[in-house]
Structure 1
Amino acid sequence: MVWKVLLVIAVILVIVLVALYYFGRKLEKRQAEGQAQLDAAAQTVSMLIIDKKKLRMKESGLPQMVIDQTPWYLRRSKMPIVKAKIGPKIMTLVADGAVYDLLPVKKEVKVVVSGIYITAIKSARGGLEKPQPKKGFFKRLFNK
């Protein structure tokens, strides 16, 4: 009796693992295609960073077409939004998570842009500053 239950659980676990492997490979291929498209459309641009915030899609000021194309489950999540002056235009851009932390506010920066997505930082006038890593709860508690 116990062996039959364990056998059924083992079979279900194997099926779940095979399904996760299959869908993981499929998502990996889709991500590689998306990254290839981003790399193909990438260009280096000099811009002045005016402001940066983490905002929801509706509050971000992005074009309505971009909001409509975003999947429904991502519309409520906060995204790293950057307002920058590129030439005479002020634009709202979306930054990569790692790039967002390094972007200096009120400085001129050369970045790699693909559409409205900032993918990398080339250089900054005055140098780039590494942000201080956030301390965890217990480190702050023990420092007091």
Structure 2
Amino acid sequence: MIPVALLSTPAIVLIVVLVVLVAALAFLTFWGNKQQKKAETAQQQIEAAAQPMTMLVIDKKKMKLTESGLPKIVIDSTPKLYRRSKVPIVKAKIGPRIMTLIADEKVYDLIPVRQEVKAMVSGMYILSVKSLRGPALTAPPKVGFFQRMKNKISGK
């Protein structure tokens, strides 16, 4: 061990910074593993409660949670940080009722508008979608920023 008196001030600062960084990394690893386990258990509960439904999709949009038309209880139970974030909202007719549902990000692009689909729904959350009639559902290809600008310039 080197006596502290022999170390220079920059070396002491460097050691302190390294110790703080290692402690922060250890904390983030522990906290991240804990959050990942929570997410996995929540996903398992959602999948266990899922049930198939046939629905006619009326409209789909990405909108703020507060403007989505979801029940007040859902909005109040959401953390304030996430209320202003945009979520994929789907309005669909399920049986005689028109309902507002939240779609999974992976499924949102697959949902066709004004078509009947068979979906796995857990509460108000759409987990997966299959085509009821016609061809299988495929997501439209993503158009990049530069391609959009080219299309705008060329008038397409």
Shared fold, TM over 0.5: yes
TM-score under structure 1 length normalisation: 0.92
Q: Which moved more, 1:88-97 or 1:119-128?
A: 119-128
Summarize the alignment of residues 50-89 of structure 1 with structure 2, pairs less than 5 Å apart: 50-89=58-97
Q: Secondary structure at the match of 2:60?
A: strand
**Aligned counterpart, 1:102:** 110
Provide TM-score, normalisation by structure 2. Answer: 0.86
Q: Which residue of 1 aligns with 2:145?
A: 136
Mapped partners of 1:70, 1:60: distance in 2: 13
Instruction: Map residues 114-129 of structure 1 onto 2, 5 A cutoff.
Output: 114-127=122-135, 128-129=137-138
Give the Cα separation in 2 of the matches to 1:119 and 1:54.
16
Q: How far is the alpha carbon of 1:141 from its aligned partner?
A: 5.4
Residue type at the aligned position of 1:100: Y
Partner of 1:37: 45
- Whether 1:12 and 2:20 are equivalent positions in the alignment is yes
SS at match of 1:58: helix
Once superposed, what is the RMSD of the aligned Cα atoms?
Answer: 1.6
Counterpart AA for 1:125: R
Count of matched residue positions in the alignment of Structure 1 and Structure 2: 143
The AA in structure 2 aligned to 1:136 is F
Quickly say closer, same or farther: Cα 1:125–1:111, change in 2 above 3 A. same
* Separation in structure 1 between the aligned mates of residue 92 and residue 64 of structure 2, nearest angstrom: 18
Aligned counterparts of 1:140 and 1:51: Cα–Cα separation in 2: 24
In 2 relative to 1, CA 136–86 (structure 1 residues): closer, same or farther, beyond 3 Å?
Answer: same
Higher alpha-carbon Rg: 2
How high is the sequence identity, in percent, across the aligned residues? 53
TM-superposition CA deviations, 1:46-97 (whole Å, max 9, x none): 1000000111112111111111111110001111000000011110000001
SS in structure 1 opposite 2:84?
A: coil
C-alpha distance in 2 between matches for 1:141 and 1:57:
30
Q: Quick one: which amino acid aligns to residue 39 of structure 1?
A: E
Unaligned runs of 5+ residues in structure 2 are 1-8
Residue 142 of structure 1, CA deviation: 6.7
- Report the CA distance between 1:30 and its aligned residue: 0.8
